[in-house]
Amino acid sequence: DAGITQSPRHKVTETGTPVTLRCHQTENHRYMYWYRQDPGHGLRLIHYSYGVKDTDKGEVSDGYSVSRSKTEDFLLTLESATSSQTSVYFCAISESQGGPGELFFGEGSRLTVL
């Protein structure tokens, strides 16, 4: 299994509080991704990174920010959590050049915003 660790795995928080999810990899892969998974929507890309300090938005980036100060860590921050951000969040990594190759996924972080 690819060395990807997500933390926390479960979190319950209240509306308006900040939340940070961490993705840590030991594979030294260049690309890192944050997806959210909701019933009926499959996985939707929030943000991704193509290198240290290099990030870009995905299709559902509003309300989320990311940072990547080291190759191995990709942080997803909800500045002020809302109930619509209740979801399961997945981190993924890839090393493919010249187009998306195989993604390796973490086990997910389940976030509940009350």
Partner 1 sequence: SQQGEEDPQALSIQEGENATMNCSYKTSINNLQWYRQNSGRGLVHLILIRSNEREKHSGRLRVTLDTSKKSSSLLITASRAADTASYFCATDAGGNKLVFGAGTILRVKS
Q: By C-beta, is 80 or 94 nearer to partner 1?
A: 94
Buried b (16+ CB within 10 A) or exposed e, 58-83: bebbeebebebeeebebbbebeebee
Least Å from the CB of residue 67 to partner 1: 19
Least Å from the CB of residue 86 to partner 1: 16
- Bridge partners (DSSP) listed for residue 78: 19
Q: What residues make contact with partner 1 under the rule CB under 8 A?
A: 4, 31, 33, 35, 40-45, 48, 50, 56, 58-59, 90, 92, 94, 96, 99-108
